[in-house]
Amino acid sequence: MNSFNKILAIIVLTLSQNAFAEVAVIVNSANSDDINEKLIKKIYLGKAKAFPSGAKVKVYTLPNSTEDTEYFRQKALKKSNSQFKSYWSKLAFTGKGTPATELDSAADIIAAIKKDPKAIGFVNVNDVNSEVKVVHNY
């Protein structure tokens, strides 16, 4: 009975963790650009440097080690953390691109995006608030 409860608890925990691992891509609420999955991928791979309106994009990311970052890279970019890092080290050490600015927490990302109409970032869906605009959920 005891071990059954434990197993049940583990299953519930695992399920809820998966449910929490949803990530929202967010921009400034004044941003009216049409930002789709393709553009998000290009922005995070350094292939697009501006929004369709022409504004130069400022890219933010959560730290490497977070589950949300790993989930976002896998879902949105189809790359594991090490594939992503390997890809970016090629660009960063040859003068072809500047990697996304890393901020410590979802609150920091939201604060930065709230201030900058040209910024883009991603946070866990549970951290989203009305101060920013969600353009895509993964």
Partner 1 sequence: MKCISCVKLATAATCLISMFSQAEVNFSGFSSINVGKVLSGTGVEHYDVPPTFLADYPIVSAYTEEWDMAPESLFGLQITADLSEGLTAIAQLVGRGAEDYAPEFEWAYLSYEINENWTIQAGRKRLPLFYYSDFYDVGYAYVWMRAPADNYTWQIFNYDGINVMYSTDVGDWSLATNVYAGKEDDDDNKLLGDFFFGDKTREIWKDMLGGVVNLSKDWFETRFTYMQYTNQRYIGGEQTMWGGEDSRNGKFFGAAFNVDFDDWFVLSEINRLDLEFDGNLDTNMVTFGYRVSTFTPYIAYSSMKQKGDGVVDGENHNTTSVGLRWDFHDSAAFKVQYDDVKDNSHDFAVAGDSKSLSFGVDLVF
Residues in touch with partner 1 (CB under 8 A): 38, 42, 47-50, 54, 56, 64-65, 80-82, 85-87, 89-90, 92-96, 98
Alpha carbon distance, N-terminus to C-terminus of the chain: 37
**Looking at beta carbons only, is 14 or 81 nearer to partner 1?**
81
In the complex, least distance from residue 47 CB atom to partner 1, rounded to whole angstroms: 4
In the complex, least distance from residue 95 CB atom to partner 1, rounded to whole angstroms: 6
**Looking at beta carbons only, is 79 or 133 nearer to partner 1?**
79
In the complex, least distance from residue 86 CB atom to partner 1, rounded to whole angstroms: 5
**Looking at beta carbons only, is 70 or 125 nearer to partner 1?**
70
CA gap 77, 58 in Å, rounded: 18
